[in-house]
Amino acid sequence: MNKLAVTIADQNFSLRLKNPVITASGTFGYGLEFAPYGDLRKLGALVVKGLSLEPREGNPMPRVAETPSGMLNAVGLQNCGVEDFLRHKLPLLPSADVPVIVNLYATSGDDFASLAGILGAEPSIAALEVNISCPNVREGGAAFGQDPFSAAAVTETVRKNAGKKPVIVKLSPNVTDITEIARACEAAGATAISCINTLSGMAVDLAGRKPRLANILGGLSGPAVKPVALRCVWEVSRTVSIPVIGIGGISCAEDVLEFILVGATAVQIGTANLMQPDSAFQIIQNLPAACEKYGVTNWGDLRGKLATEPAASAF
Ligand SMILES: Cc1cc2nc3c(=O)[nH]c(=O)nc-3n(C[C@H](O)[C@H](O)[C@H](O)COP(=O)(O)O)c2cc1C
Protein backbone atom coordinates (compact mmCIF):
# COMPACT_ATOMS: atom_id res chain seq x y z
CA MET A 1 0.00 0.00 0.00
CA ASN A 2 1.48 3.34 -1.04
CA LYS A 3 -0.82 5.68 0.76
CA LEU A 4 -0.16 5.22 4.44
CA ALA A 5 -1.41 8.68 5.41
CA VAL A 6 -4.25 9.17 7.91
CA THR A 7 -6.13 12.20 9.21
CA ILE A 8 -7.07 12.75 12.85
CA ALA A 9 -9.95 15.19 12.68
CA ASP A 10 -13.33 16.24 14.02
CA GLN A 11 -15.60 18.85 12.44
CA ASN A 12 -13.34 21.74 13.39
CA PHE A 13 -9.76 20.61 13.84
CA SER A 14 -7.53 18.39 11.79
CA LEU A 15 -4.12 16.75 11.89
CA ARG A 16 -2.65 14.96 8.89
CA LEU A 17 -0.08 12.20 9.51
CA LYS A 18 2.04 10.63 6.78
CA ASN A 19 1.48 7.23 8.39
CA PRO A 20 -0.51 6.05 11.42
CA VAL A 21 2.49 5.37 13.69
CA ILE A 22 3.07 7.81 16.56
CA THR A 23 5.50 7.42 19.45
CA ALA A 24 3.85 7.43 22.89
CA SER A 25 4.38 9.90 25.68
CA GLY A 26 6.98 9.03 28.30
CA THR A 27 8.62 6.35 26.16
CA PHE A 28 10.32 8.57 23.59
CA GLY A 29 11.84 11.31 25.74
CA TYR A 30 11.45 14.72 24.08
CA GLY A 31 12.07 13.08 20.70
CA LEU A 32 15.69 14.11 20.25
CA GLU A 33 17.01 11.29 22.43
CA PHE A 34 15.78 8.86 19.75
CA ALA A 35 17.22 10.71 16.73
CA PRO A 36 20.30 8.39 16.69
CA TYR A 37 18.01 5.40 16.05
CA GLY A 38 16.04 6.67 13.06
CA ASP A 39 14.88 9.68 11.07
CA LEU A 40 12.27 11.43 13.24
CA ARG A 41 10.68 12.86 10.08
CA LYS A 42 9.58 9.35 9.08
CA LEU A 43 7.24 9.10 12.08
CA GLY A 44 3.53 9.74 11.70
CA ALA A 45 3.95 12.03 14.71
CA LEU A 46 5.78 12.07 18.01
CA VAL A 47 4.35 12.72 21.46
CA VAL A 48 6.71 14.18 24.03
CA LYS A 49 6.95 13.32 27.70
CA GLY A 50 4.04 14.69 29.76
CA LEU A 51 4.69 18.35 30.55
CA SER A 52 3.55 20.27 33.61
CA LEU A 53 3.70 24.00 34.32
CA GLU A 54 6.68 23.56 36.64
CA PRO A 55 9.54 21.04 36.38
CA ARG A 56 9.08 17.83 38.40
CA GLU A 57 11.66 15.41 39.75
CA GLY A 58 9.29 12.45 39.82
CA ASN A 59 9.13 9.59 42.30
CA PRO A 60 11.98 8.03 44.28
CA MET A 61 13.85 4.99 42.87
CA PRO A 62 13.30 2.18 42.12
CA ARG A 63 10.58 3.30 39.76
CA VAL A 64 10.58 0.67 37.04
CA ALA A 65 10.27 -3.10 37.31
CA GLU A 66 10.12 -5.81 34.66
CA THR A 67 7.09 -8.11 34.72
CA PRO A 68 6.09 -11.05 32.50
CA SER A 69 5.58 -9.59 29.00
CA GLY A 70 5.59 -6.06 30.33
CA MET A 71 6.91 -3.51 32.77
CA LEU A 72 5.69 -1.43 35.68
CA ASN A 73 6.63 2.21 35.99
CA ALA A 74 6.09 4.81 38.65
CA VAL A 75 8.26 7.53 37.14
CA GLY A 76 5.91 10.08 38.66
CA LEU A 77 5.66 12.36 35.63
CA GLN A 78 9.22 13.65 35.88
CA ASN A 79 9.66 16.41 33.32
CA CYS A 80 11.57 19.60 32.57
CA GLY A 81 8.51 21.87 32.74
CA VAL A 82 6.80 23.65 29.87
CA GLU A 83 9.12 26.66 29.74
CA ASP A 84 12.33 24.67 29.40
CA PHE A 85 10.69 22.46 26.77
CA LEU A 86 9.60 25.43 24.64
CA ARG A 87 12.90 27.22 24.99
CA HIS A 88 15.46 24.42 24.71
CA LYS A 89 13.90 21.28 23.25
CA LEU A 90 11.11 22.17 20.81
CA PRO A 91 13.35 24.38 18.61
CA LEU A 92 15.64 21.37 18.01
CA LEU A 93 12.84 19.10 16.78
CA PRO A 94 12.10 18.90 13.02
CA SER A 95 8.56 20.14 13.65
CA ALA A 96 8.10 21.32 10.06
CA ASP A 97 8.42 17.71 8.89
CA VAL A 98 6.91 15.70 11.74
CA PRO A 99 3.91 16.74 13.83
CA VAL A 100 4.98 17.30 17.42
CA ILE A 101 2.19 16.47 19.85
CA VAL A 102 2.63 17.71 23.39
CA ASN A 103 1.28 15.57 26.21
CA LEU A 104 0.23 17.70 29.18
CA TYR A 105 -1.02 17.10 32.65
CA ALA A 106 -1.94 19.13 35.70
CA THR A 107 -3.59 18.61 39.05
CA SER A 108 -6.16 21.42 38.80
CA GLY A 109 -8.44 22.88 36.15
CA ASP A 110 -6.65 26.24 36.40
CA ASP A 111 -3.29 24.67 35.68
CA PHE A 112 -4.74 22.75 32.72
CA ALA A 113 -6.08 26.08 31.39
CA SER A 114 -2.70 27.82 31.78
CA LEU A 115 -0.78 24.98 30.14
CA ALA A 116 -3.21 24.72 27.23
CA GLY A 117 -2.98 28.49 26.72
CA ILE A 118 0.83 28.43 26.59
CA LEU A 119 1.03 25.38 24.32
CA GLY A 120 -1.91 26.41 22.15
CA ALA A 121 -0.09 29.62 21.20
CA GLU A 122 3.06 27.83 20.03
CA PRO A 123 3.12 27.50 16.21
CA SER A 124 5.45 24.48 16.07
CA ILE A 125 3.16 22.30 18.16
CA ALA A 126 0.72 20.28 16.04
CA ALA A 127 -1.72 19.08 18.71
CA LEU A 128 -2.19 18.64 22.44
CA GLU A 129 -2.71 15.29 24.16
CA VAL A 130 -4.30 15.60 27.59
CA ASN A 131 -3.29 13.02 30.18
CA ILE A 132 -6.32 12.76 32.46
CA SER A 133 -4.87 9.88 34.51
CA CYS A 134 -3.49 12.35 37.07
CA PRO A 135 -5.06 13.19 40.43
CA ASN A 136 -7.45 16.11 40.81
CA VAL A 137 -5.96 17.51 44.02
CA ARG A 138 -8.75 20.05 44.57
CA GLU A 139 -11.42 17.33 44.43
CA GLY A 140 -9.93 14.75 46.78
CA GLY A 141 -7.21 13.23 44.62
CA ALA A 142 -9.14 10.80 42.38
CA ALA A 143 -7.86 10.89 38.80
CA PHE A 144 -9.72 13.28 36.45
CA GLY A 145 -10.07 10.37 34.04
CA GLN A 146 -12.00 8.19 36.46
CA ASP A 147 -15.10 10.32 36.46
CA PRO A 148 -17.03 11.47 33.36
CA PHE A 149 -17.78 14.91 34.84
CA SER A 150 -14.19 15.82 35.69
CA ALA A 151 -12.94 14.25 32.42
CA ALA A 152 -15.41 16.47 30.54
CA ALA A 153 -14.46 19.54 32.59
CA VAL A 154 -10.76 19.11 31.80
CA THR A 155 -11.50 18.51 28.13
CA GLU A 156 -13.63 21.64 27.94
CA THR A 157 -11.00 23.73 29.73
CA VAL A 158 -8.19 22.58 27.45
CA ARG A 159 -10.37 22.98 24.33
CA LYS A 160 -11.24 26.58 25.32
CA ASN A 161 -7.62 27.54 25.78
CA ALA A 162 -5.89 25.52 23.05
CA GLY A 163 -6.55 27.93 20.17
CA LYS A 164 -6.66 26.09 16.84
CA LYS A 165 -4.88 22.93 18.00
CA PRO A 166 -6.57 19.55 17.89
CA VAL A 167 -7.11 18.26 21.44
CA ILE A 168 -6.59 14.53 21.98
CA VAL A 169 -7.81 13.21 25.32
CA LYS A 170 -5.91 10.18 26.62
CA LEU A 171 -8.02 7.77 28.64
CA SER A 172 -7.14 5.51 31.52
CA PRO A 173 -8.18 1.85 31.42
CA ASN A 174 -8.57 1.90 35.21
CA VAL A 175 -12.31 2.58 35.07
CA THR A 176 -15.48 0.49 35.10
CA ASP A 177 -16.79 1.73 31.77
CA ILE A 178 -14.33 3.48 29.46
CA THR A 179 -17.07 4.30 26.94
CA GLU A 180 -18.80 6.55 29.47
CA ILE A 181 -15.64 8.63 29.85
CA ALA A 182 -15.02 8.69 26.09
CA ARG A 183 -18.55 9.91 25.43
CA ALA A 184 -18.17 12.70 28.00
CA CYS A 185 -14.88 13.85 26.45
CA GLU A 186 -16.34 13.83 22.94
CA ALA A 187 -19.30 15.93 24.08
CA ALA A 188 -16.89 18.36 25.78
CA GLY A 189 -15.01 19.03 22.54
CA ALA A 190 -12.23 16.43 22.20
CA THR A 191 -10.93 16.13 18.63
CA ALA A 192 -9.85 12.53 19.24
CA ILE A 193 -9.48 9.95 21.99
CA SER A 194 -6.26 8.06 22.66
CA CYS A 195 -6.32 4.92 24.77
CA ILE A 196 -4.95 3.30 26.79
CA ASN A 197 -2.68 4.72 29.45
CA THR A 198 -1.08 2.17 31.80
CA LEU A 199 -2.99 -0.30 33.99
CA SER A 200 -2.60 0.07 37.72
CA GLY A 201 -0.46 -2.74 39.18
CA MET A 202 2.26 -3.76 41.61
CA ALA A 203 5.18 -6.17 41.89
CA VAL A 204 6.57 -7.82 45.00
CA ASP A 205 10.10 -8.67 46.15
CA LEU A 206 9.32 -11.84 48.08
CA ALA A 207 12.75 -12.32 49.66
CA GLY A 208 12.79 -8.70 50.82
CA ARG A 209 9.09 -8.80 51.74
CA LYS A 210 8.61 -5.41 50.09
CA PRO A 211 7.20 -3.83 46.95
CA ARG A 212 9.56 -3.67 43.99
CA LEU A 213 8.64 -0.03 43.34
CA ALA A 214 9.36 2.66 45.92
CA ASN A 215 5.93 4.08 45.07
CA ILE A 216 4.39 0.60 45.76
CA LEU A 217 1.94 0.98 42.85
CA GLY A 218 2.89 1.53 39.23
CA GLY A 219 1.49 1.44 35.71
CA LEU A 220 1.66 -1.76 33.68
CA SER A 221 2.53 -1.48 29.98
CA GLY A 222 3.96 -3.55 27.14
CA PRO A 223 2.69 -6.67 25.32
CA ALA A 224 0.91 -7.84 28.50
CA VAL A 225 -1.65 -5.03 28.16
CA LYS A 226 -2.38 -5.41 24.45
CA PRO A 227 -5.59 -7.47 24.86
CA VAL A 228 -6.97 -4.86 27.28
CA ALA A 229 -6.02 -2.06 24.90
CA LEU A 230 -7.64 -3.79 21.92
CA ARG A 231 -10.84 -4.23 23.92
CA CYS A 232 -10.84 -0.55 24.96
CA VAL A 233 -10.21 0.71 21.42
CA TRP A 234 -12.94 -1.57 20.09
CA GLU A 235 -15.46 -0.38 22.70
CA VAL A 236 -14.56 3.31 22.42
CA SER A 237 -14.49 3.43 18.62
CA ARG A 238 -18.01 1.94 18.51
CA THR A 239 -19.20 4.59 20.95
CA VAL A 240 -17.79 7.89 19.69
CA SER A 241 -17.64 9.32 16.19
CA ILE A 242 -14.32 11.12 16.64
CA PRO A 243 -11.08 9.23 15.77
CA VAL A 244 -9.49 6.83 18.27
CA ILE A 245 -5.73 6.40 18.64
CA GLY A 246 -4.84 2.92 19.91
CA ILE A 247 -2.05 2.45 22.46
CA GLY A 248 -0.93 -0.58 24.44
CA GLY A 249 1.61 -3.30 23.78
CA ILE A 250 2.11 -2.57 20.10
CA SER A 251 5.45 -3.95 18.96
CA CYS A 252 5.13 -4.91 15.28
CA ALA A 253 3.37 -3.90 12.07
CA GLU A 254 0.76 -6.66 12.48
CA ASP A 255 -0.18 -5.19 15.87
CA VAL A 256 -0.83 -1.86 14.12
CA LEU A 257 -3.19 -3.57 11.68
CA GLU A 258 -5.00 -5.29 14.55
CA PHE A 259 -5.67 -1.96 16.26
CA ILE A 260 -6.91 -0.38 13.03
CA LEU A 261 -9.15 -3.42 12.46
CA VAL A 262 -10.84 -2.90 15.83
CA GLY A 263 -11.43 0.78 15.04
CA ALA A 264 -8.26 2.86 15.55
CA THR A 265 -7.34 5.58 13.07
CA ALA A 266 -3.73 5.71 14.29
CA VAL A 267 -1.61 4.05 16.98
CA GLN A 268 1.11 4.90 19.45
CA ILE A 269 4.22 2.84 20.20
CA GLY A 270 5.23 2.97 23.87
CA THR A 271 7.18 0.34 25.81
CA ALA A 272 8.51 -1.17 22.55
CA ASN A 273 10.72 1.96 22.25
CA LEU A 274 12.32 1.03 25.56
CA MET A 275 12.86 -2.60 24.53
CA GLN A 276 14.37 -1.63 21.18
CA PRO A 277 14.90 2.06 20.48
CA ASP A 278 14.33 1.84 16.72
CA SER A 279 11.01 -0.04 17.11
CA ALA A 280 8.75 2.69 15.74
CA PHE A 281 10.98 3.19 12.70
CA GLN A 282 11.07 -0.58 12.04
CA ILE A 283 7.30 -0.85 12.38
CA ILE A 284 6.80 1.94 9.81
CA GLN A 285 9.24 0.24 7.45
CA ASN A 286 7.40 -3.07 7.81
CA LEU A 287 3.88 -1.64 7.39
CA PRO A 288 3.64 -1.85 3.58
CA ALA A 289 4.64 -5.55 3.56
CA ALA A 290 2.20 -6.35 6.38
CA CYS A 291 -0.57 -4.54 4.47
CA GLU A 292 0.23 -6.54 1.39
CA LYS A 293 0.26 -9.81 3.34
CA TYR A 294 -3.21 -9.12 4.80
CA GLY A 295 -4.71 -7.64 1.62
CA VAL A 296 -5.01 -4.09 2.97
CA THR A 297 -5.08 -1.60 0.10
CA ASN A 298 -6.45 1.39 1.98
CA TRP A 299 -7.11 2.13 5.64
CA GLY A 300 -10.83 2.63 5.11
CA ASP A 301 -11.20 -1.02 4.09
CA LEU A 302 -9.63 -2.19 7.35
CA ARG A 303 -10.66 0.36 9.96
CA GLY A 304 -13.36 -0.96 12.26
CA LYS A 305 -14.04 -3.91 9.92
CA LEU A 306 -13.66 -6.61 12.57
CA ALA A 307 -16.09 -9.42 11.76
CA THR A 308 -18.17 -10.16 14.84
CA GLU A 309 -21.36 -12.06 15.56
CA PRO A 310 -24.33 -9.70 15.87
CA ALA A 311 -24.68 -10.45 19.58
CA ALA A 312 -21.03 -10.13 20.57
CA SER A 313 -20.74 -9.99 24.35
CA ALA A 314 -17.84 -9.79 26.78
CA PHE A 315 -17.11 -13.54 26.69
C1 LIG B 1 8.12 4.85 31.48
C2 LIG B 1 6.77 5.32 31.01
C3 LIG B 1 6.43 6.67 31.13
C4 LIG B 1 5.18 7.13 30.71
N5 LIG B 1 4.87 8.46 30.82
C6 LIG B 1 3.68 8.92 30.34
C7 LIG B 1 3.35 10.31 30.38
O8 LIG B 1 4.14 11.16 30.81
N9 LIG B 1 2.12 10.70 29.94
C10 LIG B 1 1.22 9.80 29.43
O11 LIG B 1 0.11 10.21 29.03
N12 LIG B 1 1.51 8.49 29.34
C13 LIG B 1 2.70 8.02 29.79
N14 LIG B 1 3.01 6.68 29.69
C15 LIG B 1 2.02 5.74 29.11
C16 LIG B 1 2.35 5.41 27.65
O17 LIG B 1 2.36 6.56 26.84
C18 LIG B 1 1.34 4.37 27.08
O19 LIG B 1 0.05 4.93 27.13
C20 LIG B 1 1.34 3.07 27.87
O21 LIG B 1 2.63 2.71 28.27
C22 LIG B 1 0.73 1.90 27.07
O23 LIG B 1 1.41 1.69 25.86
P24 LIG B 1 2.63 0.61 25.69
O25 LIG B 1 2.12 -0.69 26.23
O26 LIG B 1 2.92 0.58 24.21
O27 LIG B 1 3.76 1.14 26.48
C28 LIG B 1 4.25 6.21 30.12
C29 LIG B 1 4.61 4.86 30.00
C30 LIG B 1 5.85 4.41 30.40
C31 LIG B 1 6.21 2.96 30.22
- Give pLDDT tens digits for 165-217: 999 999 999 999 999 999 999 999 999 999 999 999 999 999 999 999 999 99
Residue 314 domain-assigned? no
Domain around 163: 6-62+77-203+221-302
Residue 72 domain-assigned? no
* pLDDT computed for residue 139 by the predictor: 74
Mean pLDDT of the chain: 96
Query: Of 107, 197, 250, which is best to mutate to test ligand 1, by the most ligand atoms within 8 angstroms of its C-beta?
Result: 197
Residue 257 domain-assigned? yes
Which residues belong to the active site? 134
- Atom of ligand 1 at shortest range from CA of 70: 25
- Atom of ligand 1 at shortest range from CA of 269: 26
| Residue ID of nearest Cα to ligand 1 atom 11 | 131
Residue 84 domain-assigned? yes
Task: Name the residue with higher pLDDT: 143 or 160.
Answer: 160
Residue 308 domain-assigned? no
The stretch 112-118 carries a mean pLDDT of: 98
* pLDDT computed for residue 142 by the predictor: 78
Centroid of ligand 1 to alpha carbon of 306 (angstroms):
26
Phi-psi region of 200 (alpha: psi -120 to 50; beta: other; left: phi over 0): beta
Residue 232 domain-assigned? yes
- Give pLDDT tens digits for 298-310: 999 999 999 987 6
Whether pLDDT at 1 is above 70: no
Whether pLDDT at 2 is above 60: no
Query: Of 221, 228, 236, 274, which is best to mutate to test ligand 1, by the most ligand atoms within 8 angstroms of its C-beta?
Result: 221
The stretch 133-146 carries a mean pLDDT of: 81
- Atom of ligand 1 at shortest range from CA of 223: 25
* Residue 292: CB atoms within 10 Å: 11
Q: Domain with 164 in it: what CATH number? A: 3.20.20.70
Burial class (CB in 10 A: 0-12, 13-18, 19+), 161: buried
Residue 1 domain-assigned? no
Centroid of ligand 1 to alpha carbon of 137 (angstroms):
21
Binding-site residues, ligand 1, Cβ < 6 A: 24-27, 49-50, 73, 75, 77, 103, 131, 170, 197-198, 221-222, 225, 247-250, 269-272
Tell me the pLDDT band of 140, cut-offs 50, 70 and 90: confident
| Residue ID of nearest Cα to ligand 1 atom 31 | 271
Q: Domain count of the chain? A: 1
| Residue ID of nearest Cα to ligand 1 atom 10 | 25
Centroid of ligand 1 to alpha carbon of 297 (angstroms):
31
* pLDDT computed for residue 135 by the predictor: 75
- Atom of ligand 1 at shortest range from CA of 77: 8
Return the SS3 of 83.
Answer: helix
For the chain, strand residue ranges (E) read: 6-9, 14-17, 21-23, 45-51, 64-67, 70-73, 100-104, 127-131, 167-170, 192-195, 199-202, 204-205, 210-211, 217-221, 244-247, 266-269
The stretch 268-276 carries a mean pLDDT of: 98
Residue 85 domain-assigned? yes
Whether pLDDT at 312 is above 90: no
* pLDDT computed for residue 138 by the predictor: 74
* pLDDT computed for residue 141 by the predictor: 75
